[in-house]
Amino acid sequence: GENVEQHPSTLSVQEGDSAVIKCTYSDSASNYFPWYKQELGKRPQLIIDIRSNVGEKKDQRIAVTLNKTAKHFSLHITETQPEDSAVYFCAARQQAGTALIFGKGTTLSVSS
Amino acid sequence: DGGITQSPKYLFRKEGQNVTLSCEQNLNHDAMYWYRQDPGQGLRLIYYSQIVNDFQKGDIAEGYSVSREKKESFPLTVTSAQKNPTAFYLCASSIPQFRLRGTGELFFGEGSRLTVL
């Protein structure tokens, strides 16, 4: 089955800096790669996703890039703010009709 | 107010007892999922169901059971066979990607925290 590795497990940045979180997946048939944000005490929520026919997607300060050949994808957050502090999870799905497999998460801390 | 509701929020259980966690959604989603969240372990898939009366095991199904008798309900039973059941359990639902307008986005409940005494 699919296996998703996520790095780093913790990331501390200063406000205004950029943050990058990287994930690799094992199954070349995977075609959907979302990122979820979980604030302390809250439920995970989708912040951005990308499908395998696209190399990059942006939404304001966040972007995701996908390298299908290398089987890795990354989350980029620019101009970080304290409210970006949360746990971020990457995930991959092998095919429609199967479930998302998540990475172990990255705890991002943005200090002002 | 549409959404996905989990109950109870907190649950305490003695060793050897079975316990059932409730998950109800009124989003008219076909698919429902159960994940277990432990510190440093991410979200691990227990069971999922794409349609009523059908479900599949996830990566850590041992010691758990589910049913999907109704579209809006997907209860999870943590049995006495689960060796380390203390954890935070998250239920989610989605419109599968293969459905029209299906994006595959998961909508999560607020979770249930189970503690075995």
Amino acid letter, B78 = V
Q: Chain A: nearest CA to B80, how far in angstroms?
A: 26
| pLDDT over 70, % of chain A | 98
The alpha helices in chain B, defined as continuous H runs, are none
pLDDT in the model for residue B75: 98
Q: Rounded to whole angstroms, how far apart are CA atoms B58 and A57?
A: 29
Mean pLDDT computed over B32-38: 97
Report A:50-109 residues touching B (Cβ under 8 A).
89, 91, 93, 96-97, 99-105
Q: Which residue of A has its CA nearest to B60?
A: A101
Q: Which residue of A has its CA nearest to B113?
A: A41
pLDDT in the model for residue B92: 97
Reduced to 3 states, what is the DSSP secondary structure of residue A27?
A: coil
Q: What is the strand order of the sheet B19-25 is part of?
A: B4-7, B19-25, B76-78, B64-66
Pairing of strands A45-51, A101-102: unpaired
pLDDT at B100 over 60: no
Chain-chain contact of A100 with B58 (C-beta, under 8 angstroms): no
pLDDT at B1 over 60: no
Q: How many CB atoms lie within 10 A of CB B100?
A: 5
8 Å CB contact between B64 and B79: yes
B39/A contact by beta carbon, under 8 A: no
Locate B95 and state its tokens.
Answer: 């419109």
Query: What are the average pLDDT values for consecutive 10-residue runs of chain A, which has 112 residues?
Result: 94 98 95 95 95 90 96 98 98 83 97 94
Q: What is the total residue count of chain A?
A: 112
Chain-chain contact of A97 with B111 (C-beta, under 8 angstroms): no
Nearest partner of B112 among B32, B37, B42, judged by Cα: B37
8 Å CB contact between B68 and B34: no
Q: Which of A32, A89, A91 sits opposite B97 (nearest CB)?
A: A32
